[in-house]
Homo-oligomer: A and B are copies of this chain.
Amino acid sequence: MTISIFDSLKAGGKKLTKPRKAILAILERSTPPITVAEVHERLKKAHAPADLVTVYRNLAMLQELGLVNQVGLHEGQMRYEVRHGREHHHHIQCRGCGLIVDLLLCPLKKLTELVEQQTKFAVEGHALEFFGWCPQCR
């Protein structure tokens, strides 16, 4: 059985508040990752408005618990998506309109062709960064 998001929250000593529930619900419904501002707007539309700060704090906390992924596309702001059983994946963003599409694969290079086939995008570039612990810090 999979561990529910709620169990994870409880395990982290977190409470299930109304805004928190609403934020999670919105993330669940957003396939390409969305910005903090978007979450904030959708909360209002969903008649469950919450302060922007509350959104920031919740997203940061959810990321700490590993419940959401932070996605940076170098737009000057971060995006978030629920992890919730989804496979490890990446994204492709249009340089023209900003459209973001999920990629179901991961490796790279010949991958570019695959990405192009799969998304119909004309791939023009990619960004790849690794993160870890250097010899001094590990």
Contact = CB atoms under 8 A, between A and B. Distances in A.
Interface stretch (A8-16, A38-46, A66-74): A66-74
Interface string A75-108: 0001000000000001111111101010100111
Contacts of A95: 131-133, 137
Interface stretch (A17-25, A50-58, A122-130): A122-130
A100 to B, nearest CB: 9
A90 B125 CA distance: 12
Contacts of A128: 90, 106, 108, 126-129
A127 B131 contact: yes
A96 to B, nearest CB: 3
A130 B126 contact: yes
Contacts of A47: none
Given A107-B108, A112-B130, A128-B108, A121 B93 contact: no
A136 interface: yes
11 contacts: A94-B133, A95-B133, A96-B137, A97-B137, A99-B137, A106-B108, A107-B107, A124-B133, A125-B131, A127-B128, A127-B129
